[in-house]
Amino acid sequence: MRKRWISLLVTGLLVGGAVAPASPALAAPTFKVPFPCGQSWSGQTRSDHSPAYAIDFNRTDDQGDPVVASAPGTVDRVTDLGGTSYGKYVRIDHGGGYTTYYAHLSGFNVSVGQTVGYGKVIGWVGSTGGSTGPHLHYEQRLNGNDIQARFNGTLALYWGTKTYTSGNGCSSGSGNGTVDTSGTPLTVRSGPGTGYASVGTVADGTRVTISCQTSGTTVTGTYGTSSIWDRIGSGRYIADAYVYTGYDGYIPNVPRC
Ligand SMILES: [Zn+2]
């Protein structure tokens, strides 16, 4: 394995040397959905929005829900425009000319000059300014101009409404669990469901490392009925219903696959 690793490293250096520009432009930050890890929000874009590429986010009973920083940066505006426009809004400067805006907030949780990271709560969803109901008005800008938003590098839907699930502030760490089948080996599948191919088994009592969790086929096992599947390796999933993790449902801070 050591030999393979050295070979990859050398290749990487050669490629890097060949394509690196003399004065590389600052890469765009990796923006994430501006809500806590694991939450799903409906994001709407529409051509008559101002500015056009802004996204309005909603979910059920969203008044007062926490809004988090899309990417690391420095808060450079915490402003209340009163009953007009953005109302209470926060702007974060991410460097390289990139900023993000979070508007119509009901309250602030940061101050100007504060450094924020992924997942930092900056304020709460509200309906301040020229808003007719609770939602988060969100923008990504480059050099002051609004740009089509990207999350994890993937372009948002223009135009229309789409559900975005947050991977913001999720621990990059993993979770642990212990397989408990009362004796029988547990089938490992190539994907999160019983319809995926069997790619092996894990013995009862095996301690597993869970890199992420996702929903799939509903399974009834030792710990009840659950549609959660645990990824325990590349292309290797087991039903969470047979895994003792210490938690009902998803393990806090373990990311969604
Ligand atoms: Zn809006």
Compute the distance from residue 117 Cα to the ligand 1 centre, in Å. 24
pLDDT tens digits for range 108-163:
999 999 999 999 999 999 999 999 999 999 999 999 999 999 999 899 999 999 99
- Does the pLDDT value for residue 4 go beyond 80? no
Which residues crowd ion ligand 1, with CB under 5 Å?
54, 56, 137
The conformation of residue 5, written as its DSSP 8-state character, comes to H
Compute the distance from residue 136 Cα to the ligand 1 centre, in Å. 7
Give me the pLDDT at residue 175, please: 86
Percent residues over pLDDT 70 in the chain = 89
| Residue 65 near residue 121 (C-beta atoms within 8 A) | no
Give me the pLDDT at residue 6, please: 31
Give me the pLDDT at residue 127, please: 98
Compute the distance from residue 178 Cα to the ligand 1 centre, in Å. 46
Give me the pLDDT at residue 172, please: 65
Give me the pLDDT at residue 105, please: 98
Compute the distance from residue 41 Cα to the ligand 1 centre, in Å. 14
Closest of 77, 49, 66, 43 to residue 150, by C-alpha: 43
Q: HEC states along 201-231?
A: EECCCCEEEECEEEEEEEEEECCEEEEEEEE
Compute the distance from residue 104 Cα to the ligand 1 centre, in Å. 9
The answer, as to whether pTM is greater than 0.75, is no
Give the mean pLDDT of the chain.
89
